[in-house]
A = this chain, B = another copy of it.
Amino acid sequence: MIIDKITLAQSEKRFLAQLINSLAGIRQVALIGTKSKKGNENLAVFNSLIHLGAHPALFGLISRPASAERHTLGNIRETESYTVNFLDKKYAEKVHQTSARYPENISEFTEVSLTPEYFQDCFAPFVKEAEIKIEMKLQQILNLEINNTNLIIGSIERIYLPEERLLADGFVNPRNLLLSCGLDAYFTGKFAEKLAYAKP
């Protein structure tokens, strides 16, 4: 079947959101931990984490203007500190629940029963239950004027992970980590194959 631009423009809002979001495919779920200057802890689910480069090590994150992610953006702007947390698939319900629109003074950690944890001098909280935890430092927020979303660019400051996940070639094994597609479907990755460096 063919879905053209006119059909898209005429689609009901939530149908369209589900369609375009799921069309972009399966992506690993990141829980982003932040804290406001006032001390309010915040936790939000993102599936728009992207690798921007290794040297320096940079990740990007898309924050949409009207979403539950807006407290995250505000806190990052204010404190320049955030954490990326990857969780086992068994936490799917708790992770999903962080997407509800809680008021700013309510901590999603408390509401979904995940535990904030602090390491070294990082201002933002990590998620104790996470398998892999990354300390991030804000480098830049780029406003994408075309639809008023923001690209948050941050540098990787420290990575906390179980030693057995790091393979000799640098590969971080994503076994059993939670993935998502669209607004509400959760997956895990099933390993297919590892291929040699491609040469012409």
Would A11 and B170 be within 8 Å (CB), given that A27-B28, A198-B97 are in contact? yes
Pick 5 A–B contacts, CB within 8 A, sort by A: A20-B54, A21-B54, A25-B30, A89-B192, A181-B189
Which residues of the other chain, B, contact A139 by a CB distance below 8 angstroms?
A: 146
Which residues of the other chain, B, contact A200 by a CB distance below 8 angstroms?
A: 100-103, 106, 111
Check B96 against A198 for contact (C-beta < 8 Å): yes
Instruction: Answer yes or no: A79 CB below 8 A from chain B CBs.
Output: no
> Once bound together, how far apart are the Cα atoms of A97 and B96, in whole Å?
36
Which listed residue (B1, B49, B196) contacts A25, Cβ 8 A?
Answer: B49
Would A185 and B170 be within 8 Å (CB), given that A26-B179, A27-B25, A50-B24 are in contact? no
Q: Is the interface of A mostly helix, strand, loop or mixed?
A: mixed
> Once bound together, how far apart are the Cα atoms of A29 and B8, in whole Å?
23
> Once bound together, how far apart are the Cα atoms of A28 and B160, in whole Å?
25
Which residues of the other chain, B, contact A21 by a CB distance below 8 angstroms?
A: 51, 54
Per assembly, the copies of the chain total 2
Q: Which of A166-200 contact B (CB under 8 A)?
A: 166, 169-174, 177-179, 181-200
Q: Which of A1-47 contact B (CB under 8 A)?
A: 1-5, 8-9, 11, 13-28, 30
Check B156 against A8 for contact (C-beta < 8 Å): yes
Residues of A within 8 A of B (CB): 1-5, 8-9, 11, 13-28, 30, 48-60, 62, 64, 86, 89, 92-93, 96-103, 106, 111, 132, 134, 139-140, 142, 144, 146-147, 149, 151, 153, 155-163, 166, 169-174, 177-179, 181-200
Closest-CB distance, A181 to chain B (whole angstroms)? 5
Check A56 against B170 for contact (C-beta < 8 Å): no
Closest-CB distance, A1 to chain B (whole angstroms)? 5
Check B146 against A153 for contact (C-beta < 8 Å): yes
* Minimum CB distance partner of A100 in chain B: B198
> Once bound together, how far apart are the Cα atoms of A40 and B76, in whole Å?
44
